[in-house]
Structure 1
Amino acid sequence: MAEALHPSESPGLLLWRATLRWQRAVTAELKPLGLTHVQFVLLASTWWLTTVAGETPSQRRVAEHAATDPMMTSQVLRTLESKGLLERKQNPGDSRARHVGVTEAGADLAARAIQVVEAADAAFFAPVTDQEKMLAVLRALAE
């Protein structure tokens, strides 16, 4: 039987701990905006898909873009709709599908929240000396 790694040598444990620290930091920054982390991710994804990419995304497309579970995505999008941040409309070509778009209030909040999260990311990842290499590693791990 192989000897167990010391926790400081376990990449999985270190990634877990770093992820939790990062999530706590982002959550704290989003709280004053009235968003949870997952609400932010789905609002920002919808905003990006509609505003930057010019799409009229379905809920499934938003889930794919955000890499989230479709059922959970549907529930969170419903919550964002109840807050007046998103609109969900029936897809005329598929009665089971819904198109999602941001409201004016949603677009304003998404823009503010993105700035807040980008600042939190910059502070969290500031100790990394080679930002390009870090991004390359994260992209590889995210695939």
Structure 2
Amino acid sequence: MSRTSNGPTPGYLVWRLSMKWRVAVDRALAPLGLTHAQYVLMASLYGLDRTGQPPSQRELADQTGLEALYVSKLARSLDADGLIERTRDPADTRTIRLTLTGHGREIVRPAISTVSALLDRLLAPLGGREGERTDVLVRELTLLLDTPLDPS
């Protein structure tokens, strides 16, 4: 374990929390036949479904923070399972647009509820989703996520 003079480093704690969350989501979604990564892609599609235009694989990669190649691989797998549909954009045939199928919506709705309940349990020590400490945590994590990795 990485340590500073006062305890674990922030990087170590972020990594451990990330791993804890991923394992918890994988376990919670196993009965629905989804992994954490599949859930992220499908739940994002579900949320973006209201915008009208189905997102491209690239747009979904940007939205989720997943690598574009990984989104492509996940999308092919979910398409083969009948959970999403991949279609070529008529305006640019290099672009693949993604939409949930009816079956995909049936699977993702309870998955979202399951992950929501899990999030409530995880955030309970901070006062829940609406807690002031949770708001501070979200602001701080957003600041870190918005900080570019490349110093230029």
- Superposition TM-score, scaled by structure 2 size: 0.84
Assess if the C-alpha contact under 8 Å between 1:58 and 1:99 holds in 2.
yes
Gaps of 5+ in 2: 128-132, 147-152
Q: Identical aligned pairs, as a percentage?
A: 34
Structure 1 runs, 4 residues or longer, greater than 4 Å off: none
**Relative contact order (C-alpha < 8 Å, sep 6+): which is higher?**
1
Give, in angstroms, the shift of residue 7 of structure 1.
7.5
- Partner of 1:37 in structure 2? 36
Segments of structure 1 that go 5 or more residues without pairing to the other structure are none
Q: Secondary structure at the match of 1:126?
A: helix
CA deviation string 1:67-99 (max 9, x = no partner): 111111001011111111101111112221111
Q: CA deviation at 1:63?
A: 1.0
| Structure 2 residue identity aligned to 1:60 | R
The match for 1:18 is: 17
Q: AA paired with 1:141?
A: L
Q: Which of 52, 55, 68 is the equivalent residue of 2:53?
A: 55
Q: Does the 8 Å contact 2:25/2:35 carry over to 1?
A: no
Distance in structure 1 (CA, Å) of the matches to 2:109 and 2:52: 16
Residue 93 (structure 2) aligns with: 95
Shift of 1:49: 1.1
Query: What amino acid does structure 1 have at the position aligned with 2:144?
Result: L
The CA deviation string for residues 94-131 of structure 1, in whole angstroms up to 9 with x for no partner, is: 22111111111111211111111111111112112422
How much is the aligned-residue C-alpha RMSD, in angstroms?
Answer: 1.5
Cα distance 1:7–1:18, how it changes in 2: closer, same or farther (>3 A)? Answer: farther
